[in-house]
Amino acid sequence: MSETTSSGRSGRDEALFAAGSDPRRTVWLTGAGSGMGRATALRAARTGWAVTLSGRRREVLEELAAEIRADGGTALVAPLDVQDRQAVRETAARITDELGGIDALVLAAGLNAPRRRWDDQDLAEFDAIVSTNLTAVASVIDAALPHLRERSGQVVVISSYAGWSFQPGAGVAYSASKTALGSLVRTLNQQEAAHGVRACHLCPGDVATDFLDQRPSVPDAESRARMLSAEDIARTACFVLDSPANVRIDELVVSPVSQA
Protein backbone atom coordinates (compact mmCIF):
# COMPACT_ATOMS: atom_id res chain seq x y z
CA MET A 1 0.00 0.00 0.00
CA SER A 2 1.34 3.42 -0.96
CA GLU A 3 1.88 6.18 1.58
CA THR A 4 -0.94 8.69 1.86
CA THR A 5 -1.12 12.29 2.95
CA SER A 6 -3.61 13.77 5.41
CA SER A 7 -6.04 14.22 2.52
CA GLY A 8 -6.11 10.47 1.98
CA ARG A 9 -4.33 10.66 -1.40
CA SER A 10 -0.99 9.14 -2.22
CA GLY A 11 2.08 11.31 -2.81
CA ARG A 12 1.73 10.69 -6.54
CA ASP A 13 -1.92 11.75 -6.35
CA GLU A 14 -0.98 14.98 -4.59
CA ALA A 15 1.54 15.80 -7.31
CA LEU A 16 -1.06 15.22 -10.01
CA PHE A 17 -3.61 17.35 -8.18
CA ALA A 18 -1.09 20.16 -7.70
CA ALA A 19 -0.22 20.08 -11.38
CA GLY A 20 -3.88 20.10 -12.38
CA SER A 21 -3.24 17.12 -14.68
CA ASP A 22 -5.01 14.20 -13.03
CA PRO A 23 -5.87 11.92 -15.97
CA ARG A 24 -8.29 9.61 -14.20
CA ARG A 25 -11.98 9.26 -14.92
CA THR A 26 -14.18 10.43 -12.08
CA VAL A 27 -17.55 9.05 -11.01
CA TRP A 28 -19.87 10.56 -8.41
CA LEU A 29 -22.02 8.02 -6.58
CA THR A 30 -25.06 8.80 -4.45
CA GLY A 31 -26.30 6.19 -2.02
CA ALA A 32 -22.69 5.05 -1.78
CA GLY A 33 -22.81 4.04 1.87
CA SER A 34 -24.58 0.72 1.41
CA GLY A 35 -26.02 -1.83 -0.96
CA MET A 36 -25.71 -1.34 -4.70
CA GLY A 37 -24.07 2.08 -4.40
CA ARG A 38 -21.34 0.74 -2.14
CA ALA A 39 -20.69 -2.30 -4.31
CA THR A 40 -20.51 -0.15 -7.44
CA ALA A 41 -18.06 2.25 -5.79
CA LEU A 42 -15.74 -0.63 -4.88
CA ARG A 43 -15.88 -2.16 -8.34
CA ALA A 44 -15.46 1.16 -10.16
CA ALA A 45 -12.45 2.06 -8.02
CA ARG A 46 -10.83 -1.30 -8.79
CA THR A 47 -11.20 -0.64 -12.51
CA GLY A 48 -9.50 2.76 -12.34
CA TRP A 49 -12.25 5.26 -11.61
CA ALA A 50 -11.66 7.99 -9.04
CA VAL A 51 -14.82 7.81 -6.97
CA THR A 52 -16.74 10.43 -5.01
CA LEU A 53 -18.83 8.87 -2.27
CA SER A 54 -22.04 10.62 -1.26
CA GLY A 55 -24.56 9.54 1.35
CA ARG A 56 -25.90 10.72 4.69
CA ARG A 57 -23.58 8.78 7.01
CA ARG A 58 -20.05 10.20 7.01
CA GLU A 59 -18.57 7.42 9.13
CA VAL A 60 -19.76 4.74 6.72
CA LEU A 61 -18.39 6.68 3.75
CA GLU A 62 -15.04 7.16 5.50
CA GLU A 63 -14.78 3.39 6.11
CA LEU A 64 -15.54 2.70 2.45
CA ALA A 65 -13.02 5.32 1.31
CA ALA A 66 -10.35 3.75 3.53
CA GLU A 67 -11.04 0.37 1.96
CA ILE A 68 -10.74 1.84 -1.54
CA ARG A 69 -7.52 3.69 -0.73
CA ALA A 70 -6.01 0.61 0.89
CA ASP A 71 -6.56 -1.16 -2.43
CA GLY A 72 -4.75 1.63 -4.30
CA GLY A 73 -7.80 3.58 -5.43
CA THR A 74 -8.82 7.22 -5.08
CA ALA A 75 -11.89 8.17 -3.07
CA LEU A 76 -13.34 11.55 -2.11
CA VAL A 77 -15.82 11.55 0.77
CA ALA A 78 -18.68 14.00 0.20
CA PRO A 79 -21.51 13.47 2.72
CA LEU A 80 -24.79 14.68 1.29
CA ASP A 81 -28.54 14.74 1.75
CA VAL A 82 -29.64 14.45 -1.88
CA GLN A 83 -32.85 16.34 -1.06
CA ASP A 84 -30.79 19.46 -0.25
CA ARG A 85 -30.46 21.10 -3.66
CA GLN A 86 -27.94 23.73 -2.58
CA ALA A 87 -25.74 21.06 -1.01
CA VAL A 88 -25.94 19.07 -4.24
CA ARG A 89 -24.66 22.06 -6.22
CA GLU A 90 -21.88 22.68 -3.72
CA THR A 91 -20.82 19.04 -3.87
CA ALA A 92 -20.65 19.13 -7.67
CA ALA A 93 -18.41 22.20 -7.45
CA ARG A 94 -16.21 20.53 -4.84
CA ILE A 95 -15.74 17.43 -6.99
CA THR A 96 -14.64 19.45 -10.00
CA ASP A 97 -12.31 21.48 -7.81
CA GLU A 98 -10.67 18.48 -6.12
CA LEU A 99 -10.86 15.83 -8.84
CA GLY A 100 -10.78 17.99 -11.95
CA GLY A 101 -14.23 17.19 -13.33
CA ILE A 102 -17.11 14.76 -13.43
CA ASP A 103 -17.11 12.00 -16.04
CA ALA A 104 -19.99 9.92 -14.73
CA LEU A 105 -22.78 9.61 -12.21
CA VAL A 106 -24.16 6.51 -10.53
CA LEU A 107 -27.36 7.47 -8.75
CA ALA A 108 -28.24 4.78 -6.23
CA ALA A 109 -29.90 6.67 -3.37
CA GLY A 110 -33.39 5.31 -2.82
CA LEU A 111 -36.24 5.26 -0.34
CA ASN A 112 -39.42 3.30 0.33
CA ALA A 113 -41.67 2.71 3.33
CA PRO A 114 -43.66 -0.24 4.71
CA ARG A 115 -46.97 1.59 4.20
CA ARG A 116 -47.48 1.25 0.46
CA ARG A 117 -51.21 1.12 -0.24
CA TRP A 118 -53.70 3.92 -0.91
CA ASP A 119 -55.61 2.87 2.19
CA ASP A 120 -52.64 3.10 4.57
CA GLN A 121 -49.97 5.33 3.04
CA ASP A 122 -48.73 8.50 4.72
CA LEU A 123 -48.45 11.49 2.39
CA ALA A 124 -45.42 12.87 4.23
CA GLU A 125 -43.70 9.56 3.44
CA PHE A 126 -45.00 9.83 -0.13
CA ASP A 127 -43.31 13.23 -0.52
CA ALA A 128 -40.02 11.94 0.93
CA ILE A 129 -40.00 8.89 -1.37
CA VAL A 130 -40.67 10.93 -4.51
CA SER A 131 -38.16 13.57 -3.44
CA THR A 132 -35.42 10.98 -2.92
CA ASN A 133 -36.15 8.66 -5.83
CA LEU A 134 -37.02 11.21 -8.51
CA THR A 135 -36.49 14.88 -7.68
CA ALA A 136 -33.06 14.32 -6.15
CA VAL A 137 -31.95 12.38 -9.24
CA ALA A 138 -32.92 15.36 -11.39
CA SER A 139 -31.09 17.71 -9.00
CA VAL A 140 -27.82 15.77 -9.14
CA ILE A 141 -27.95 15.44 -12.92
CA ASP A 142 -28.72 19.15 -13.27
CA ALA A 143 -25.78 20.11 -11.05
CA ALA A 144 -23.38 17.80 -12.88
CA LEU A 145 -24.62 18.37 -16.43
CA PRO A 146 -22.23 21.19 -17.45
CA HIS A 147 -19.31 18.95 -16.48
CA LEU A 148 -20.80 15.88 -18.15
CA ARG A 149 -21.15 17.89 -21.35
CA GLU A 150 -17.46 18.78 -21.25
CA ARG A 151 -16.48 15.10 -20.99
CA SER A 152 -19.23 13.31 -22.94
CA GLY A 153 -20.25 11.85 -19.63
CA GLN A 154 -22.27 8.85 -18.51
CA VAL A 155 -25.22 8.65 -16.14
CA VAL A 156 -26.40 5.38 -14.58
CA VAL A 157 -29.71 5.73 -12.78
CA ILE A 158 -30.25 2.71 -10.56
CA SER A 159 -34.00 2.41 -10.66
CA SER A 160 -36.05 -0.73 -10.06
CA TYR A 161 -37.88 -3.58 -11.75
CA ALA A 162 -40.93 -1.58 -10.64
CA GLY A 163 -39.73 1.22 -12.92
CA TRP A 164 -39.92 -1.12 -15.91
CA SER A 165 -42.91 -3.33 -15.11
CA PHE A 166 -45.75 -2.67 -12.70
CA GLN A 167 -45.20 -4.47 -9.38
CA PRO A 168 -48.27 -4.39 -7.08
CA GLY A 169 -46.23 -4.72 -3.89
CA ALA A 170 -43.77 -1.92 -4.63
CA GLY A 171 -46.03 0.83 -3.33
CA VAL A 172 -47.84 3.86 -4.74
CA ALA A 173 -45.07 6.42 -4.26
CA TYR A 174 -42.19 4.07 -5.08
CA SER A 175 -43.79 2.77 -8.29
CA ALA A 176 -44.67 6.27 -9.46
CA SER A 177 -41.19 7.66 -8.75
CA LYS A 178 -39.32 4.78 -10.34
CA THR A 179 -41.54 4.71 -13.42
CA ALA A 180 -40.90 8.42 -13.91
CA LEU A 181 -37.15 7.78 -13.99
CA GLY A 182 -37.58 6.05 -17.34
CA SER A 183 -38.92 9.28 -18.86
CA LEU A 184 -36.22 11.32 -17.14
CA VAL A 185 -33.51 9.15 -18.72
CA ARG A 186 -35.12 9.19 -22.15
CA THR A 187 -35.40 12.98 -22.20
CA LEU A 188 -31.79 13.31 -21.07
CA ASN A 189 -30.63 11.04 -23.88
CA GLN A 190 -32.74 12.80 -26.49
CA GLN A 191 -31.75 16.32 -25.49
CA GLU A 192 -28.09 15.84 -24.59
CA ALA A 193 -26.93 13.45 -27.31
CA ALA A 194 -25.36 16.36 -29.17
CA HIS A 195 -22.99 16.79 -26.20
CA GLY A 196 -22.16 13.07 -26.08
CA VAL A 197 -23.99 12.62 -22.77
CA ARG A 198 -25.45 9.12 -22.30
CA ALA A 199 -27.78 7.78 -19.64
CA CYS A 200 -28.98 4.32 -18.67
CA HIS A 201 -32.15 3.39 -16.78
CA LEU A 202 -30.95 0.34 -14.83
CA CYS A 203 -33.83 -1.71 -13.45
CA PRO A 204 -32.84 -4.48 -11.02
CA GLY A 205 -35.20 -7.13 -9.78
CA ASP A 206 -35.01 -8.30 -6.19
CA VAL A 207 -31.59 -7.56 -4.70
CA ALA A 208 -30.50 -8.93 -1.33
CA THR A 209 -29.58 -5.70 0.48
CA ASP A 210 -30.70 -3.89 3.62
CA PHE A 211 -33.27 -2.06 1.47
CA LEU A 212 -35.46 -5.14 1.86
CA ASP A 213 -35.95 -4.20 5.52
CA GLN A 214 -38.34 -1.48 4.30
CA ARG A 215 -40.85 -4.06 3.05
CA PRO A 216 -44.10 -4.71 4.94
CA SER A 217 -43.02 -8.35 5.16
CA VAL A 218 -39.23 -8.66 5.35
CA PRO A 219 -37.85 -11.59 3.29
CA ASP A 220 -36.09 -14.36 5.15
CA ALA A 221 -32.59 -15.70 4.46
CA GLU A 222 -33.86 -18.43 2.12
CA SER A 223 -35.70 -15.88 -0.01
CA ARG A 224 -32.69 -13.56 -0.12
CA ALA A 225 -30.45 -16.39 -1.28
CA ARG A 226 -32.46 -16.57 -4.52
CA MET A 227 -32.12 -12.86 -5.21
CA LEU A 228 -29.50 -10.84 -7.04
CA SER A 229 -26.54 -9.55 -5.05
CA ALA A 230 -25.36 -5.96 -4.85
CA GLU A 231 -22.24 -7.11 -6.68
CA ASP A 232 -24.39 -8.31 -9.60
CA ILE A 233 -25.73 -4.79 -10.02
CA ALA A 234 -22.28 -3.25 -9.54
CA ARG A 235 -20.93 -5.40 -12.36
CA THR A 236 -23.79 -4.28 -14.59
CA ALA A 237 -23.37 -0.60 -13.73
CA CYS A 238 -19.64 -0.76 -14.46
CA PHE A 239 -20.35 -2.48 -17.78
CA VAL A 240 -22.35 0.61 -18.70
CA LEU A 241 -19.70 3.01 -17.37
CA ASP A 242 -16.94 1.30 -19.32
CA SER A 243 -18.81 1.14 -22.65
CA PRO A 244 -17.21 2.96 -25.62
CA ALA A 245 -18.16 6.59 -26.20
CA ASN A 246 -20.19 5.71 -29.29
CA VAL A 247 -22.37 3.26 -27.34
CA ARG A 248 -25.45 4.25 -25.38
CA ILE A 249 -27.25 1.68 -23.25
CA ASP A 250 -30.67 3.22 -22.80
CA GLU A 251 -32.17 0.67 -20.43
CA LEU A 252 -31.15 -2.57 -18.75
CA VAL A 253 -33.37 -4.94 -16.80
CA VAL A 254 -31.56 -7.41 -14.55
CA SER A 255 -33.54 -10.16 -12.84
CA PRO A 256 -32.83 -13.13 -10.62
CA VAL A 257 -33.71 -16.37 -12.38
CA SER A 258 -36.42 -17.04 -9.78
CA GLN A 259 -38.25 -13.75 -10.47
CA ALA A 260 -41.38 -14.19 -12.54
Q: How many CB atoms lie within 10 A of CB 74?
A: 23
Q: Is the dihedral of CA 207, 238, 59, 145 positive or negative?
A: negative
> Which of helix, strand or coil describes residue 222?
helix
What amino acid is encoded at 163 in this protein? G
Cβ–Cβ < 8 Å for 51, 24: no
161 counts as catalytic: no
In order of 35, 162, 168, 213, the CA distances from 258 in angstroms are 20, 16, 18, 20
Catalytic residue among 28, 49, 174, 211: 174
Secondary structure of 10-64 as H, E, C letters: EHHHHHHHHHCCCCCCEEEEECCCCHHHHHHHHHHHHCCCEEEEECCCHHHHHHH
- Which residues are designated catalytic? 174
